[in-house]
Structure 1
């Protein structure tokens, strides 16, 4: 299964946010989508999911334009994991994961024993079967994100879209969630993951796509694509990219503030008042 954008433009009403981008995503890939707030990442994701109309160009799945696909047709192929989700009712975890089977269940029908088995298998894949009967609203943020991944896996998708899945998580839970994301590519699934941290793309992605002001600034392997100069273009700050080794003697790239990057000292309140009344 291949997801392709051809000269895709999207936005809200008459306002264009993403302008004529082209990209291919194949099964077995994890593509990290990087860009500053407002660059169009979430708008792009909403358009892929059919929540916003295409303003121009095409979205293709295996060469077929999905413009007229129903939401159920899209859901059978594309899974979605939001930043964070809190349902209005205290569902049990298994029930939340079973919601992923909705696109495969006929209207007014209940989940079959086979649907339950698929949901349970998704929990088992992520090693969170122990949460099966827990109340979703009472588990930790990291556990909730893993449950949302399980819900998406229960859809049996070929493409998985993740919108900053670690945005609200602490450091430990970020690592736990992202380690599972990398495993998904080995399950014959293509993953498009929007993220803010270049390190996440370095460690967990096969390819990085830099989105700047609605256009693709660069696309390629993380090592060749994520440079200090391009990060300056994306985020407006000077950074250095350094190589470190972990305990396994593996080399990792991380971003740190440049030695030339300094913050201007804040003026005291008294000093600011002097200027205000001068």
Structure 2
């Protein structure tokens, strides 16, 4: 399924936050959405989900405008994974995942054995079946985020929208969550993921969209889109984008504030080994 934003404008009341946003996301793609705090990433996500009325343009799913769709109709197609949250009641993990079946269950009906099976399969897909009977409020932050992904998968969506899914996680849990995101794209899901870290976009995105001052600054592959100049425009800081070689001999790109380098070192003119040494010691 394809998600298309056609000249979309959105905001709050009479205040316009974003305008003329055009974007297409196809199954199997991970689109990274980068921009500073307040640039409109969450506003865009809320508008796509129908939580905010659009001020212009269209949100199209396989060519169909969803403006008049009910929230249940949207939920059958689009799964939403919010930033870290804590529910007010101590539900078991399986019950939290079962909440993803709400759009498929008639009002006042109870989840069927089929719904329970789908929820269990979502847990199994993410390798967290061991959490099945644990209390959601008593598990770690990384585990909670994986449970939220499982809840979204239980919706059986064609599109996943993730609003800074790693914002409150430690380094290890960030990598675990993002690794699962890449795997989900392999199931032909279309994934739109907002994030703050350019390195995440380099590692896990097929394409990147940069939001700045209410418009798309640039979009394209991570390598061509994420540049030091554009990051300065987005975040107001000078950075260096350098390549390092990991233990699997794979080249990775990282962003480091320019002030961390000695001026006499020209990173483009030294070997990968010397570059790694410079990064480690300067």
- Shorter-chain TM-score range: over 0.9
For 1:4 and 1:213, the matched residues in 2 are separated by 21
Contact 1:10 1:56 (8 Å CA) reproduced: yes
> Residue 259 of structure 1: CA displacement?
3.5
Structure 1: gaps spanning 5 or more residues: 263-278
Instruction: Give RMSD over aligned pairs.
Output: 1.1
Partner of 2:122 in structure 1? 122
Task: Give the aligned partner of residue 63 of structure 2.
Answer: 63
Task: Report the Cα distance in structure 1 between the residues aligned to 2:188 and 2:116, rounded to whole angstroms.
Answer: 22
Give the structure-2-normalised TM-score.
0.92
Matches within 5 A, 1:183-194: 183-194=183-194
**1:238–1:260 contact (8 Å) kept in structure 2:** no
Deviations 1:8-28 (Å, cap 9, x if unpaired)? 000000000011110000000
Local SS of the residue matching 2:67: coil
String of CA shifts for 1:2-50, please: whole Å, max 9, x gaps: 0001100000000000111100000000000000011110000000111
CA distance in 1, matches of 2:50, 2:223: 32
For residues 100-179 of structure 1, what are the structure 2 equivalents within 5 Å? 100-179=100-179
Provide the C-alpha distance between the structure 2 equivalents of 1:27 and 1:174, rounded to a whole number of angstroms: 23
| Cα distance in 1 for residues equivalent to 2:259 and 2:173 | 30
Deviation at 1:243, TM superposition (A): 0.2
Name the CA distance, whole Å, in 1 between partners of 2:259 and 2:166.
28
Q: CA deviation at 1:260?
A: 8.2
Shift, 1:261, TM fit: 9.0
Normalized against structure 1, the TM-score is what? Answer: 0.93
Tell me the equivalent position of 1:227.
Answer: 227
Partner deviation per Cα, 1:139-170 (whole Å, 9 max, x = no partner): 00000000000000000000000000000000
CA distance in 2, matches of 1:107, 1:246: 52
* Mapped partners of 2:185, 2:92: distance in 1: 28
State the 1:214 CA deviation. Answer: 1.1
1:48-91 Cα offsets, whole Å, 9 max, x none, are 11110010000000000000000000000000001112111000
How many angstroms apart in 1 are the aligned matches of 2:230 and 2:261?
16
**1:74 maps to what in 2?**
74
CA distance in 1 between counterparts of 2:19 and 2:165 reads 25
Contact 1:210/1:219 (8 A) holds in 2: yes
1:49 — aligned with what? 49
Specify whether residues 166 and 260 from structure 1 end up closer, same or farther in structure 2 by C-alpha distance, changes over 3 A only: closer
How many pairs were matched up?
262
Name the structure 2 match of 1:274.
Answer: none
Runs of 4+ in 1 over 4 A off after TM superposition: none
CA distance in 1, matches of 2:217, 2:17: 15
